[in-house]
Amino acid sequence: MRKYIFFVFSVFCVLISGGLNAADKQLVAIKTDLGTFVIELAPKEAPATVKNFLFYVDNKFYDGTIFHRVVPGFVVQGGGMTFDFAEKKTEAPIKNESSNGLGNDYKTVAMARQTDPDSATAQFYINLKNNDGLNANGTKPGYTVFGKVVAGMEVIEKIAEEPRGMYKAFPEAPNYAVRILSATRTSSVVVDNPAKQKPSLFKDAVVPVNETKQ
């Protein structure tokens, strides 16, 4: 009887421990026109960057923005422009944290920036492969990695497959705008993505793949 009680208690402790570990993770679910993906953040390695990203998430900044830069085999970038390619006003830039030991590997999420290392604001990108050239190198800053896609990477891959080239000013933007419908904190890495859909040229519509657009 004592052995049985000890066994049950041990299992209970393991379950509680696992639950606490899951609760400790900082996760963000990003719902797009093509499905939902989940990012696990790295506050220990990139505290300022994670704080900045969550500020934009909590203030619904990303809702309605698009993935305006898609380079197959490289990155999918978004989070700063609206459907009509208007750039949203952001808060002040943040300090570069690219020397945090996290590399720009496949599935990782990093901050986009200008040539100034400390110019990142809201835009982010997902790596479609290991992009070692984007990492910090000695005294040369890189691009700050602050998380990783832990569910729904197939959504990012679908975005990367979207045809591009319709817009001369934005040749890397998908012909059909892929919007971020919402970005919210979550406690789950489970995503339930529906049957394949295709984003529409129209702001508030989603056209099924098997439907021919007139």
Please name each of the domains of the chain with its CATH number: 26-89+96-187 (2.40.100.10)
Segment 50-61 mean pLDDT:
99
Q: What is the mean pLDDT of residues 87-96?
A: 98
Average pLDDT over residues 192-205: 57
Give the tens place of pLDDT for each residue, 97-110.
999 999 999 999 99
Using 50, 70 and 90 to split pLDDT, how confident is the model at 190? Answer: confident
Q: CA-CA distance, 191 to 73, in Å (whole number)?
A: 24
Mean pLDDT, residues 7-36: 67
Report pLDDT digits (tens) over 129-153: 999 999 999 999 999 999 999 999 9
Model confidence band, residue 213 (pLDDT cutoffs 50, 70, 90): very low
Classify 121 as helix, strand or coil: coil
pTM score, two decimals?
Answer: 0.82
Residue 23's pLDDT band, with cuts at 50, 70 and 90, is: low
Q: Which stretch of DSSP H or E encloses residue 51?
A: helix 47-58
Going by DSSP bridges, is the β-strand pair 35-41/124-127 parallel, antiparallel, or unpaired? unpaired
Read off the pLDDT of each residue in 188-193 and give the average, rounded to a whole number. 86
Looking at residues 195-208, what average pLDDT do you find? 49
- Checking if the pLDDT of 36 tops 70, the result is yes
Residue with tokens 């591009």: 164
Residue 45: exposure state from Cβ atoms within 10 A (0-12, 13-18, ≥19): middle
For the ranges 3-7, 43-47, 194-198, the lowest mean pLDDT is seen at 3-7
- Compute the distance between CA of residue 92 and CA of residue 110 in angstroms, rounded to an integer: 17
Tally of helices (H runs) and strands (E runs) in the chain:
3, 10
When pLDDT is averaged across residues 186-214 and rounded to a whole number, the result is 58
3-state secondary structure of 96: coil
> H or E element: which one contains 159?
helix 153-160
